[in-house]
């Protein structure tokens, strides 16, 4: 199957090209020429499947034979080794916990699949020698990407993060790994880290000397596995004999990759009545829904840091899928909450429903309660474990929050950090020196 660019419908790429490049040369996002629709019998049979079986079936349909069946089977079974439970709060509200992977954020789902698919392409290109993954991060992305590629032979990962701006546990989640993961502390902001990576992709010497790839959320290989859990939620509801005839998903949004994945699942035939997009005060998409005008803005820091994006980079996919502003408004109800509302929701839900929401999940949960109509079944997507922001959570609920084992092992871990001044010359030198040593 071919993939086109959302900026130039005539541009064509194979799945391999789309996944390795990430972004089309004209800056557009890759979309499949045809979205396969699942047979109705599949929906009926889903509830008898395990998560891995379901993930394999959905990925096979979505990729339509582009990856050999046995290869795809191994990639999917290895990527989806952790559970994605649909839990109920004391009041019976549904929360889909996407955070039981190795770094306890939903990004594990997308990055584990992407890493394994990229590795498959690497093994088919011995001339590349090593594949170099460059990733700027303010926390969640860096740890999920680093963990997904950790100890993979023939792959080097460079995680660039702003000095002083990443919380301690999140930093340890990538900076303690060592092996093929280099943590680069940049004396600058997150935007500086992003620019360094963008400059690297444009630099002729670097591209001559080494094979570079990005692991950003625009990569189609992250979208495919994220469709899976929408189907999985439906299957769990059927298993619980819940009414799925008016299904509504509430999604905490930043770069809109998660929401785009849900819309893709719907396009593949999953019966979803509508989606609720929820942002914090970085409410670019909310403003677009209300006004029809898309205006990126400088990022504002919040207590839900993974939602702090001033220019949601999967926006093009949403427009491509739903066609127009009108189409988007029919399918999506948009909400936006500030820090005080997030805190209030966490406190209230903890006291009234005995469920501890992390700040990202809290926005989705609040919007779900606000937006649902009688007769509808809502599912709020829970994108991070509350203990990832332990200190903040303890301040909010005034109680101790225990660290699960996946996180506690990082508390006293030794960090290996390469410090660097903010400047492209220094970054280029670092990459070239490492390339020579390999
Ligand atoms: C990345 C992230 C999001 C936002 O997902 P998008 O696909 O960028 O919209 C939400 N919550 C958490 C915890 C995240 O790490």
Relative to the CA of 258, which ligand 1 atom is closest? 7
How do residues 380-429 score in pLDDT, each as one tens digit?
Answer: 999 999 999 999 999 999 999 999 998 998 888 899 999 999 999 999 99
Residue-averaged pLDDT of the chain? 94
Relative to the CA of 309, which ligand 1 atom is closest? 8
Look at residue 214 in the predicted model and tell me its pLDDT: 82
> Looking at residues 186-213, what average pLDDT do you find?
90
Verify whether ligand 1 is closer than 6 Å to residue 111 (CB atom).
Answer: no
Verify whether ligand 1 is closer than 6 Å to residue 105 (CB atom).
Answer: yes
Residue 298: band (very low, low, confident or very high) from pLDDT cuts 50, 70, 90:
confident
Verify whether ligand 1 is closer than 6 Å to residue 261 (CB atom).
Answer: no
Relative to the CA of 358, which ligand 1 atom is closest? 13
C-alpha 129 – ligand 1 centre gap (Å): 32
| pLDDT(262) > 80 | yes
Relative to the CA of 260, which ligand 1 atom is closest? 7
C-alpha 49 – ligand 1 centre gap (Å): 27
C-alpha 106 – ligand 1 centre gap (Å): 7
How do residues 233-252 score in pLDDT, each as one tens digit?
Answer: 999 999 999 999 999 999 99
How do residues 314-357 score in pLDDT, each as one tens digit?
Answer: 999 999 999 999 999 999 999 999 999 999 999 999 999 999 99
C-alpha 383 – ligand 1 centre gap (Å): 7
Look at residue 139 in the predicted model and tell me its pLDDT: 80
Look at residue 126 in the predicted model and tell me its pLDDT: 87
> Looking at residues 162-172, what average pLDDT do you find?
88
How do residues 275-288 score in pLDDT, each as one tens digit?
Answer: 999 999 999 999 99
CA nearest 59: which of 47, 48, 71? 71
How do residues 30-53 score in pLDDT, each as one tens digit?
Answer: 999 999 999 999 999 999 999 999
Token digits of residue 201: 């992709």
| pLDDT(438) > 70 | no
> Looking at residues 137-166, what average pLDDT do you find?
92
- Whose CA is closest to atom 1 on ligand 1? 306
C-alpha 400 – ligand 1 centre gap (Å): 25
From 97, 167, 307, 310, the mutation candidate for ligand 1 (largest count of ligand atoms within 8 A of CB) is: 307
> Looking at residues 222-239, what average pLDDT do you find?
98
C-alpha 264 – ligand 1 centre gap (Å): 17
Residue 120: band (very low, low, confident or very high) from pLDDT cuts 50, 70, 90:
very high
C-alpha 50 – ligand 1 centre gap (Å): 25
Higher pLDDT, 139 or 239: 239
Look at residue 112 in the predicted model and tell me its pLDDT: 97
**Per-residue 3-state assignment (H helix, E strand, C coil) for the chain:** CCEEECCEEEEEECHHHHHHHCECCCCCEEEECCCCCCCHHHHHHHHHCCHHHHHHHHHHHHHCCCCCHHHHHHHHHHHCCCCCCEEECCCCCEEEECCCCCCCECHHHHHHHHHHHHHHHHHCCHHHCCEEEEEECCCHHHHHHHHHHCCCCCEEEEEEEECCCCCHHHHHHHHCCCCCEEEEEEECCHHHHHHHHHHHHHCHHHHHHCEEEECCCCCHHHHHHHHHHHHHHHHHHHHCCCCCCCEEEEEECCCCHHHHHHHHHHHCCCCCCEEEEEECCCCHHHHHHHHCCCCCCCCCCCCCHHHCCCCCCCHHHHHHHHCCHHHHHHHEEEEECCHHHHHHHHHHHHHHHCCCCCHHHHHHHHHHHHHCCCCCEEEEEECECHHHHHHHHHHHHCCCCCCCHHHHCCCCCCCCEEEEECCHHHHHHHHHHHHHHC
């Amino acid at each position: 199957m071919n993939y086109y660019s959302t900026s130039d419908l005539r541009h064509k790429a194979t799945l391999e090209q789309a996944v390795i490049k990430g972004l089309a040369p004209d800056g557009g996002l890759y979309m499949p020429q045809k979205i396969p629709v699942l047979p109705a019998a599949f929906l009926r049979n889903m509830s008898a499947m395990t998560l891995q079986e379901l993930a394999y079936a959905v990925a096979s349909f979505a990729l339509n034979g582009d990856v050999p069946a046995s290869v795809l089977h191994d990639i999917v079974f290895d990527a989806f080794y952790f559970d994605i439970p649909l839990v109920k709060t004391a009041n019976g509200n549904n929360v889909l916990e996407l955070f039981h992977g190795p770094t306890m954020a939903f990004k594990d789902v997308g990055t584990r699949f992407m890493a394994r698919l990229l590795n498959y392409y690497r093994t088919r290109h011995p001339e590349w020698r090593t594949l170099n993954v460059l990733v700027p991060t303010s926390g969640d992305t860096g740890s999920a990407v680093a963990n997904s590629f950790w100890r993979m032979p023939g792959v080097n990962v460079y995680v660039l993060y702003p000095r002083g701006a990443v919380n301690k546990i999140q930093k340890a989640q990538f900076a303690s790994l060592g092996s093929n993961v280099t943590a680069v502390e940049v004396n600058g902001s997150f935007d500086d880290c992003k620019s360094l990576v963008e400059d690297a992709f444009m630099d002729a010497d670097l591209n001559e000397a080494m094979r570079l790839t990005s692991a950003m959320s625009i990569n189609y290989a992250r979208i495919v596995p994220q469709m899976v859990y929408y189907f999985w939620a439906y299957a769990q509801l059927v298993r619980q004999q819940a009414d799925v005839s008016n299904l509504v998903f509430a999604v905490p949004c930043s770069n809109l990759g998660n929401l785009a994945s849900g819309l893709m699942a719907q396009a593949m035939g999953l019966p979803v009545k509508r989606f609720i997009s929820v942002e914090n005060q970085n409410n670019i998409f909310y403003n677009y829904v209300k006004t029809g005008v898309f205006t990126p803005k400088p990022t504002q820091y919040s207590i839900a840091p993974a939602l702090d994006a001033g220019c949601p980079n999967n926006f093009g996919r949403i427009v491509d899928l739903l066609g127009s502003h009108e189409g988007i408004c029919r399918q999506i109800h948009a909400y936006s909450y500030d820090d005080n509302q997030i805190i209030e929701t966490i406190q209230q839900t903890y006291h009234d429903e005995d469920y501890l929401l992390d700040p990202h999940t809290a926005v989705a949960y609040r919007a779900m309660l606000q937006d649902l109509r009688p007769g509808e079944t809502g599912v709020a997507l829970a994108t991070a474990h509350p203990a990832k922001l332990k200190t903040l959570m303890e301040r909010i609920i005034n109680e101790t929050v225990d660290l699960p084992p996946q996180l506690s092992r990082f508390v006293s871990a030794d960090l290996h950090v390469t410090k660097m001044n903010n400047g492209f010359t220094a970054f280029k030198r670092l990459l070239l020196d490492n390339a020579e040593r390999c």
